[in-house]
Amino acid sequence: TFQMSDGVYRWLLDPTQDKESVIHVGLRICLRNFAVLTVLYVLLSWFVEIPYRWMTFALIIGYSIVPVLQQIARGLGKNGLYAVSGVLITALFLVGNLVFVVMLGWGCEGMLLSQILAYGITLLGLLLAEPQIMRSIKAPSNRALTLDMMRYSLPLIPNVVSWWAIN
C-alpha cells in the first residue's frame, strides 16, 4: 500500500485538505497496488508452491486495507471507531481460533480462516460505520495530491520493512 495509511492519516489531519479527495486518493492507490499484487501473486504461484495460496492472498489484502481504513476513521476524528475496530479484530481472531483450531481441530487452516474472517468482518464494519469512505469513491482525482501523498508515504516503507524484519 506504499504506507498509504500514514499518508492518508497525515493529510486528513490537515484542515485545509478536502477529506473526500484524500480518502479517494489513498484508496485509489491501494486498489491499483492490489491489482498489481494480484497479477504478480498469480504469476509467482505458478512457479512457487505457496501453502494455503488463496488464504494467504486474502490475508495479505486484509492486512493491507484494514489499517488504511482504520487510519481514515482516525483521521476523520472517529477515534472510537478506530479503537473498536482494533478490538474487534482481536476478539474475532480469538473466537475464530477457539472455534476452528480448538473445537474443530482445523490447525493452520483454522488459524488462517479466523484471521481472514476477523479482517473481513472488520473491513465491512469500517465501511458500514463510516459512510464517508464509500462517498469518497466518487470524489474527483487530484494528481497534485496523489504525488504529494506518494512523496510523503514512500520514504516510510524502509522503516516498516525494518520493523517487519526485526519482529
Q: What is the pLDDT of residue 52?
A: 92
CA–CA distance from 128 to each of 54, 125, 131, 160 (Å)? 25, 5, 6, 29
Q: What's the grid cell of residue 90?
A: 482481536
Cβ proximity of 100 and 111 under 8 Å: yes
Q: Per residue in 88-98, pLDDT tens?
A: 999 999 999 99
Instruction: Output b/e per residue, 94-119; b: 16+ Cβ within 10 A.
Output: eebbeebbeeeebeeebbbbbbbbbb
Q: Model confidence over 9-66: pLDDT tens digits?
A: 999 999 999 999 999 999 999 999 999 999 999 999 999 998 899 999 999 999 999 9
**Tens of pLDDT, residues 123-136:** 999 999 999 998 99
113 close to 55: Cβ distance less than 8 angstroms = yes
Using 50, 70 and 90 to split pLDDT, how confident is the model at 100?
A: very high
Has residue 163 got a pLDDT over 80?
A: no
Could you tell me which residues come within 8 angstroms of residue 4 by beta carbon, excluding any fewer than 6 positions away?
26, 29, 30, 68, 149, 153
